[in-house]
Amino acid sequence: MTYRYKVALIFLIGFFIDCINIFISAVALPTLSAALHVSTSDVAWVANAYILGLTLIIPVSTWLAGRFGSREILTASMILFTASVWMCGLADSFNELVIWRFVQGMGGGLLIPVGQALTFNLFKGEQRAKISTLVMAVALIAPAISPTIGGIIVDSSSWRWVFYSNIPFSLIAALLSWFWINEARPTSLPRPDIKGLLLVSAALGSLLMGMSLYGGDAPAWVAALFVTAGVTFVLLYGLHYRRCKNPIIELSLLKSKKLSTSIFIYYAIPGVFTGVNLMSIFFLQNTLHFSARLTGMFMILYAIGAFIAMLICGRTYNRMGAKRLFALGMLLHSAGIATLLLVNDPSDLWVIVIAYSLMGIGGGIGANTAQTTSLMDFEGNDTHKASVIWNINRQMSFSIGAALFLMVFNLLLKHFDTTQAYHATFAIASLVGLFPLFQLSQLNTQKDCHAQRNS
Mean of pLDDT values over 49-60 = 78
pLDDT(91) > 80 = yes
Q: Give the chain's mean pLDDT.
A: 84
Quote the pLDDT of residue 126: 65
Model pLDDT for residues 228-246, shown as the tens digit of each residue: 999 999 999 999 999 888 8
Quote the pLDDT of residue 49: 83
Nearest to 272 by CA among 391, 424, 426: 426
pLDDT(437) > 80 = yes
The dihedral through the CA atoms of 60, 61, 66, 67 has a sign that is: positive
pLDDT(447) > 60 = no
What is the rounded distance in angstroms from the CA atom of residue 48 to the CA atom of residue 50? 5
Percentage of residues in the chain having pLDDT higher than 90: 29
In contact, 323 and 370? CB cutoff 8 Å = no
Quote the pLDDT of residue 129: 66
Indicate the burial class of 302 (C-beta count within 10 angstroms; 0-12, 13-18, 19 or more): buried
- At 280, the pLDDT band (50, 70, 90 cuts) reads very high
Provide the phi-psi class of 123: left if phi over 0, else alpha when psi is between -120 and 50, else beta.
Answer: beta
Quote the pLDDT of residue 452: 39
Mean of pLDDT values over 209-222 = 74
- At 90, the pLDDT band (50, 70, 90 cuts) reads very high
In contact, 94 and 38? CB cutoff 8 Å = yes
The dihedral through the CA atoms of 442, 448, 451, 453 has a sign that is: positive
What is the rounded distance in angstroms from the CA atom of residue 427 to the CA atom of residue 271? 15
Mean of pLDDT values over 416-436 = 95
Name the most confidently modeled range: 273-277, 304-308, 396-400.
Answer: 273-277
- At 88, the pLDDT band (50, 70, 90 cuts) reads very high
Q: How far is CA 326 from CA 132, 138, 215, 243, 368, in A?
A: 16, 20, 32, 36, 9
What is the rounded distance in angstroms from the CA atom of residue 166 to the CA atom of residue 163? 6
What is the rounded distance in angstroms from the CA atom of residue 443 to the CA atom of residue 452? 13
In contact, 411 and 276? CB cutoff 8 Å = no
Quote the pLDDT of residue 446: 45
Task: Give the burial string for 386-399 (b: 16+ CB within 10 Å, else e).
Answer: bbbbbbbbbbbbbb
Quote the pLDDT of residue 187: 56
Mean of pLDDT values over 14-38 = 81
- In this prediction the pTM is 0.75
3-state helix/strand/coil string of 44-72 = CHHHHHHHHHHHHHHHHHHHHHHHHCHHH
Model pLDDT for residues 365-386, shown as the tens digit of each residue: 998 888 888 878 887 777 777 8
Model pLDDT for residues 115-162, shown as the tens digit of each residue: 877 887 788 766 766 777 777 778 667 777 787 788 888 888 888 888
Give the list of residues 6+ apart from residue 359 with CB closer than 8 angstroms, or none: 273, 276, 302, 305, 332, 333, 336, 337
In contact, 18 and 107? CB cutoff 8 Å = no
Give the list of residues 6+ apart from residue 399 with CB closer than 8 angstroms, or none: 47, 48, 51, 52, 55, 208, 274
pLDDT(265) > 80 = yes
What is the rounded distance in angstroms from the CA atom of residue 454 to the CA atom of residue 116? 26
Return the amino acid letter for 269.
I
Mean of pLDDT values over 418-434 = 95
Model pLDDT for residues 291-345, shown as the tens digit of each residue: 888 888 888 888 888 888 877 877 788 788 888 999 999 999 999 999 999 999 9
Quote the pLDDT of residue 186: 61
Mean of pLDDT values over 78-83 = 94
